[in-house]
Amino acid sequence: MAGFVGAQHEFHDAEFVQGWADRFVPSPPRLVLFDMVHAEIRRLSVPEPNVLELGLGPGYMARHILERDQALRYEGLDFSAVFIDVARRILGDLAPRVTFTQADLLDQSWPTRLTRRPHAIVSTWALHDLGSQHAVADVYARSYETLPPGGVLVNGDFIKPDGTAWIYEPGRFEVARHLELLRQAGFADPMSLHHFEVEADNPTAAQNYACLVAMK
């Protein structure tokens, strides 16, 4: 059997966003991805790193990382004011440690909206929503320009598993292509650390995501 894998979102609709946030409370494998992202941030030789999350969403990863790390400074970028409101609520007491930045990743000037230069740029389940390989490649290029030498980009996002007969929405594509786009952006030795919830034969839109890491 084969079919289509993708998802429809209404990122600016308050009811949709709250319902989405309620349904997608992170599962155990998703928490493992958060820990993996945090470990990559902590491999940097910076005691108090500036972290930028692209596509803050409801703030689940931000909360997970901030609860475990008192030292880092966190900036969360999202184009949806509604999602930023939900993130403030979910972050609760941690919200004062986050700078909320409203910007559109499809607008190539987004780096000029940042409050501070990040040592680490991180993202989970967001960049596929930009809708094309071209848009993801642009984010990789802007991230490379924005990071200092020694900085890291960690993208945990939905991918198309190798060997599947299913059709995937254009923002979900193979790990090998992500690594090619990261190299084209300037990153010397990008890698995929792990492929989560692997399912090639009968996938849902919530399965098949990889943790991609690239050092500048």
60 versus 196: smaller Cβ distance to ligand SAM: 60
> Helices 81-91 and 60-68 sit at what angle, rounded to 10 degrees?
30
Closest CB to ligand SAM: residue number: 57
67 versus 162: smaller Cβ distance to ligand SAM: 67
Residue 124 touches ligand SAM, criterion: CB under 6 A: yes
Residue among 216, 185, 213 nearest 40 (CA): 213
Q: How many CB atoms lie within 10 A of CB 101?
A: 18
Report DSSP state, residue 25. Answer: P
Mask for 42-81, x = binds ligand SAM (CB under 6 A): -------------x-xxxxx----------------xxx-
Q: What is the DSSP string of 120-158?
A: EEEEES-GGGG-SHHHHHHHHHHHHHHSPTT-EEEEEEE
State residue 185 phi and psi, 5-degree precision. -75, -15
79 versus 100: smaller Cβ distance to ligand SAM: 79
How far is Cα 153 from Cα 146, in angstroms, rounded to an integer?
A: 10
Considering only residues 146 through 205, tell me which ones interact with ligand SAM, judged by CB under 6 A. Answer: none
Out of 74, 100, 125, 173, point to the residue binding ligand SAM (CB under 6 A).
Answer: 125
Size of the site for ligand SAM (CB under 6 A): 19
Query: What residues make contact with ligand SAM under the rule CB under 6 A?
Result: 11, 55, 57-61, 78-80, 83, 104-106, 124-126, 129-130
